[in-house]
Each structure stands twice: as structure tokens, then as C-alpha cells.
Amino acid sequence: MQTHIDLNCDLGESFGPWKMGNDAGVIPFVSSINIACGFHAGDSRTMQQTLILAKLHGMRGLAIGAHTGLPDLRGFGRRELALDAQDLYCDTLYQLGALAALAKAAGLTIRHIKPHGALYHMLEQQPKLAHSFVSAAKDFSPTLQIYGLAQGKLLSCAAGLGMPVKHEIFADRRYLPNGGLVPRGQPGAVIEDANIAAAQVMQVLQHGKLTALDGAELALAADTVCIHGDRADAAEFAAALHTQLCASGVRIGAGT
């Protein structure tokens, strides 16, 4: 059985006067965080506040990453946009650099990048975009870790370019037989119960597989597990998942 796992969560998704998520409630239970960079959510002040929150929890080795997205606040980066590969390269560096400067001013360093929303899925489907995204990450720093769909095409591209990768599974999302996620809005897409979510994660850690929505078994290995911070019960869910994994003998940590 795999005995270490990273728990990651998307934070800093407020914007201007509008609040989203329960960052302070979730952060004690995760080992890495992905901070929105102003394109699909967040703004410079929210980024700073999230970094300060992260710093308070940094003694545990919390890993900080950029959560980069499509330029679409109103759609929260969840609407596919026919983005040019070169624009994606530039947008990715822009967001990475913006967060890095705010992080440095707070005494912190960015260790990973994770694509958000529709971009996450576009990178699995469009190899040119995946190459642009990874190239931007590499030109930012050749040691920046890429978080992406476990055993997916983005990470395969990243590994091919010599970049460190973290295979990600979702605790609270159900899977299609092809390894993709059941799209939001379809029945069964989201796992509400933290016990079932924990069981899904343990199945991967113990047996290297996961049961898709239709009952098919997917072979999956994971380095990191995503918890969604925009659930109404985000903090409780994170706490419950953290507790159950620890009780099953799994140590939570971002690793190296």
C-alpha cells in the first residue's frame, strides 16, 4: 500500500468584494494549495491575503502553487475558449510571474502549477496547448512541478520535457470509464459524502485502481488528491478526509 499522499486544494478564489470558499477552514487539512492568479478568479489583493494565510501554515511544509486559468472571470474559467497556443504560453507566464512576485514579497516560493477548470480538460485534449503550458512552466523554472490528471496527456507531455510531475486524482468527483471526470452538471458527478470520497482515495492507494461511474475499474496511481474549496462544506469535508486517511495509516504531505 502507498503510505504517503499530498492533499491539494484550490484557494484564493474570491474576487474584489465577492467571497468564495472557506480558505481558512480548509488550509489546516491540506499539504499543498493552488492559488488563483486573477484570470478566472482572484485579484492581486486576494492573492496576497491567501499567501499570508499560507505563510501562517507554512511551518508544516505547505507547498504553494499557481492555479492558472482562462481569462474569463464571469465564466470562472469553466467555459472552453479557443485559445491560441502562443497566447496560452504568454498568459501562463504572466500569471505565474504575478503570483511569484507577490509570493516573494511575502517570503514564499511557488513550487507547482495546476491548470484550472476548462483549461485542465483542454490540456488533455489539445497536445499543442499542453506543450505551450509545459513550456511556459519550464521557462519559468525547470523545477516547477506540474499537477495534472493522473496518467493523463498533460503529465506525459511534461515528463517528456523533463519536468517533475504530480499525478492528481479527485476525492469528490466521479470518473468516466476513459479516465476523465464525469462533467459537472451530470448526475453523480460530485461525491457528497466524505466517507465515500475517502474510500475512493484509499482504493487508489491500496489497489492502484478506482471504480468509474459505470462500474468499470480504472488503473490509477496518484501523487496528490484534489479537494474542492468551493463546496459549501469544504472545511468539514477536508477535515473528514484528512482524518480518515490518517486513520488508514496514510501520511499527508506535499513530498519533495
What is the contact surface with a copy of itself in residues (CB under 8 A)?
14-20, 38, 41, 43-45, 47-48, 71-76, 79-84, 86-87, 89-91, 93-102, 104-105, 118, 136, 139-140, 230
Q: What is the signed CA dihedral for 51, 54, 58, 63, rounded to 10 degrees?
A: -80
User: Cell numbers of 82, please?
Assistant: 479557443
Q: What are phi and psi of 250, to 5 degrees?
A: -95, 135
Q: What are phi and psi of 205, to 5 degrees?
A: -65, -35
**C-alpha separations of 148 from 115, 123, 134 in Å:** 7, 9, 11
- Distance, CA of 130 to CA of 133 (rounded, Å): 5
Residue with smaller CB distance to a copy of itself, 55 or 253: 55
Strand (E) or helix (H) holding 158: helix 153-160
Distance of closest approach, residue 145 Cβ to a copy of itself, in angstroms: 17
Distance of closest approach, residue 129 Cβ to a copy of itself, in angstroms: 13
Distance of closest approach, residue 162 Cβ to a copy of itself, in angstroms: 16
Residue with smaller CB distance to a copy of itself, 6 or 72: 72
Terminal-residue alpha carbon distance, the chain: 20
The β-bridge partners of 147 are 166
Distance of closest approach, residue 65 Cβ to a copy of itself, in angstroms: 15
Residue with smaller CB distance to a copy of itself, 82 or 247: 82
Chain position carrying cell 511534461: 158
Residue with smaller CB distance to a copy of itself, 19 or 251: 19
Distance of closest approach, residue 200 Cβ to a copy of itself, in angstroms: 26
Residue with smaller CB distance to a copy of itself, 52 or 219: 52
Do residues 29 and 239 make contact, with C-beta atoms less than 8 angstroms apart? yes
CA angle 82, 88, 90 (to 5 degrees): 145
Distance of closest approach, residue 14 Cβ to a copy of itself, in angstroms: 8
- Distance, CA of 181 to CA of 139 (rounded, Å): 30
Residue with smaller CB distance to a copy of itself, 40 or 174: 40
User: Cell numbers of 139, please?
Assistant: 521557462
Distance of closest approach, residue 163 Cβ to a copy of itself, in angstroms: 15
Do residues 111 and 78 make contact, with C-beta atoms less than 8 angstroms apart? no
Residue with smaller CB distance to a copy of itself, 118 or 204: 118
